[in-house]
Amino acid sequence: MERIITNNEVLFTCKLNLDRSDILALYKQSYSDRTCFYTLQDARGIWKIDYGSKKVSNLIKQIKREIKIDSSVEKQDFYKENIKIQQIYDEVKRWKQDVLNNLQKIS
């Protein structure tokens, strides 16, 4: 049986509020064999394949890992000594937490 895309649905979008606002959207692509695939796409239409999975739980694990890694930056001198860098990291952290919260709602 040929596997055909039957639906491509945006489940949510999250906006990053920095100088150049960016958006990530979670897509659910459904197939004729009743399987699906989740992936993120940015505002420029670039698919974030490294975030693709058949399971939302795998995306949740990936975002949690990134939040943990990003949190370690707060201990670094370059972060502590530069307000602008703090603002950028804090906004990215908020953004990833927003993505995580939305993923958890649909899992």
Residues 73-105 pLDDT 10s: 888 999 999 999 899 888 888 889 999 999 999
Distance of alpha carbon 78 from alpha carbon 8, whole angstroms: 42
**Domain spans of the chain?**
5-106
Distance of alpha carbon 42 from alpha carbon 10, whole angstroms: 12
Q: What is the pTM of this model?
A: 0.80
Per-residue pLDDT tens digits for 41-56: 887 888 877 788 999 9
- Residue 101 structure tokens: 């919260």
Per-residue pLDDT tens digits for 18-30: 766 678 899 999 9
